[in-house]
Chains A and B, each alone.
Chain A
Amino acid sequence: MKTPKENFPVELAAAAEELSEYLLAAEPFIVYKRAQNHFSADLQAQRLLEQLSSLQSSLRSAQSNRNVSETDIQQLRGLQNDVRQNATIMEYAQAQQNAINYLREINQEISQLLGLDFAALARQTTC
């Protein structure tokens, strides 16, 4: 639901922007952004994730037709192992998870003061 601009308090927008600035300056987000930049610059890592995603997608389709071979399974496990061994991908994934965990702490701080779960209130309705 989009709120008309005249109903959106200016002070709240300013407070949201200030919170955003400080979140970006928090260590978990600085680390996350740097890991994200490393990943964006690493074409091999990106290709590896794309290959894994593509294989998982095709195997899901094959599975519905009971058409998954042992070779397919081994290929999947091989790619999964390659992803686990890729330092750029692992660093990015860990940094993202740490940023998410930090965001949950911040949400708890906000929600405790409000007496309501802010993240639940802010949830976009489309899934």
Chain B
Amino acid sequence: MIHDELDELEIAPPDVVRQVARNFAATLSETRQFMDFEAAAERLNHDQPAQKAIADFQTKQQSLQMMIRLNAVSPADQAELERLQHAYLSEASVVDYIQAQQALVAICQAAGEIISQAIGLDYSASCSASCCG
């Protein structure tokens, strides 16, 4: 019923909308924030000491998963977990990566907000299985 009433001239062709979406992606990829993030990710990927520090923390965390769920981690294990976390968070390439990621997320949130306000739907929530990921 509603489809019969649509004026064909009012409708943007699907291919055109997809091209505009690609233009948006290209513009985002050319921002300083996006390029900084890609560079930081590349540096982190090639930083073996940082990668080892992250792996050590994740291994310890995984070994304590059950105790974490039970909220029953021993003080010694908790201290070790915090030490390992502090160790990887102290790596320069990790710090740079986190900062670059936060800057990228900030502009993506702002762009998403523009789109959401205009279309009357929450862009991220619509594209996610749930609002919390």
Contacts and interface: CB of A to CB of B under 8 A. Distances in A.
A118 to B, nearest CB: 6
Instruction: Summarize A's interface: helix, strand, loop or mixed.
Output: helix
A50 interface: no
Interface residues of A, number: 52
A30 B6 CA distance: 8
* Chain B interface extent, by class: 35 or more
Contacts of B22: 109-110, 113
B21 A8 contact: no
Contact of B109 (A34, A106, A124): A124
A56 B130 CA distance: 21
B111 A12 contact: yes
A20 B11 contact: no
Interface of A: 1-3, 7-9, 11-27, 29-31, 33-36, 91, 95-96, 99-100, 103-104, 106-107, 109-111, 113-114, 118-124, 127
Interface of B: 2-3, 5-6, 10-12, 14, 16-18, 20-34, 102-115, 118-121, 123-128, 131-133
